[in-house]
Chain A
Amino acid sequence: EAGVTQSPTHLIKTRGQQATLRCSPISGHTSVYWYQQALGLGLQFLLWYDEGEERNRGNFPPRFSGRQFPNYSSELNVNALELEDSALYLCASSLVGWNTEAFFGQGTRLTVV
């Protein structure tokens, strides 16, 4: 069974540009989470989608946005990139409901220069 897949693996952008990161969840999973992993800060919760709806978002500015498609895949968009946005962006998926665990992808390494 395929796990969570993320693309691209690496992304280099210049300050002010936009970045689009993609995530395909495990088959049957309807929830998708996005996290930012910056050095020394652990995993910061960004966004949670379930059944195509945004369920919750973390303490990030509005230039971080995303969506979930009918096939449950998801896209994270970061507008007006800043140097501090350089980080590993992780996507996780889970079944809907309370007693479930999240499965993570390999991440997209975003570098803003």
Chain B
Amino acid sequence: AQSVSQHNHHVILSEAASLELGCNYSYGGTVNLFWYVQYPGQHLQLLLKYFSGDPLVKGIKGFEAEFIKSKFSFNLRKPSVQWSDTAEYFCAVNARAGDDKIIFGKGTRLHILP
């Protein structure tokens, strides 16, 4: 069965710092990959997604992620974070294994200091 690992459970950065959140998945076949964000008091919303094509995908609010198939990774990046990026970030994978359920990682809490 597929699984998703997010290495950083809690990250604290200052504004304007660069961000990289790690995500690895375990499944050898075709996958769709997602990053979702949950701002305080709000529902989960999609940041970006990878289905196929260019492995470098751009999402909303200046976020991007790179799919590296050989490393089973889909790390999230942002060159310069803002205080408003304070949120919890979830990586998710949908493996084409016949059951099509979306599996989430445990999440990373990002706290940006003003």
Interface size class of B (residues with CB under 8 A): 20 to 34
- B68 contacts A by Cβ under 8 Å: no
In the complex, the answer to whether A101 meets B100 with C-beta atoms within 8 Å is no
Given the known inter-chain contacts A99-B51, A101-B34, please indicate yes or no for A45 contacting B43, CB distance below 8 A.
no
- Say how far A60's CB is from chain B's closest CB, in angstroms: 13
In the complex, the answer to whether A104 meets B45 with C-beta atoms within 8 Å is yes
Interface string of A86-98 (1 = CB under 8 A from B): 0000101000001
- Say how far B105's CB is from chain A's closest CB, in angstroms: 6
Interface string of B83-114 (1 = CB under 8 A from A): 00000001010101001111111110000000
Given B36, B51, B96, B106, which contacts A41 in the complex, CB threshold below 8 Å?
A: B106
Query: In whole angstroms, how far apart are the Cα atoms of A110 and B92 in the complex?
Result: 24
In the complex, the answer to whether B101 meets A48 with C-beta atoms within 8 Å is yes
- B8 contacts A by Cβ under 8 Å: no
Given A35, A42, A103, A107, which contacts B105 in the complex, CB threshold below 8 Å?
A: A42
Query: In whole angstroms, how far apart are the Cα atoms of A41 and B4 in the complex?
Result: 12
Query: In whole angstroms, how far apart are the Cα atoms of A56 and B99 in the complex?
Result: 7
Interface size class of A (residues with CB under 8 A): 20 to 34
Residues of A within 8 A of B94 (CB): 98
| A-contacting residues, B38-80, CB 8 Å | 42-46, 49, 51-52
Interface string of A3-29 (1 = CB under 8 A from B): 100000000000000000000000000
> Could you name 8 residue pairs across A and B whose Cβ atoms are closer than 8 Å?
A43-B90, A43-B92, A55-B100, A56-B100, A90-B43, A90-B44, A99-B52, A106-B43
Q: Which 3 pairs, one residue from A and one from B, show the smallest C-beta to C-beta distance?
A: A42-B106, A43-B104, A104-B44
Please list the residues of chain B having a beta carbon within 8 angstroms of any beta carbon in chain A: 6, 9, 32, 34, 36, 42-46, 49, 51-52, 90, 92, 94, 96, 99-107
Q: A45-B104, A98-B94 are in contact. List 19 more A-B contacts (CB 8 A).
A: A3-B43, A35-B104, A40-B9, A40-B106, A41-B106, A42-B90, A42-B106, A45-B101, A48-B99, A56-B99, A58-B101, A98-B32, A98-B96, A98-B100, A101-B46, A101-B49, A104-B36, A104-B45, A105-B43
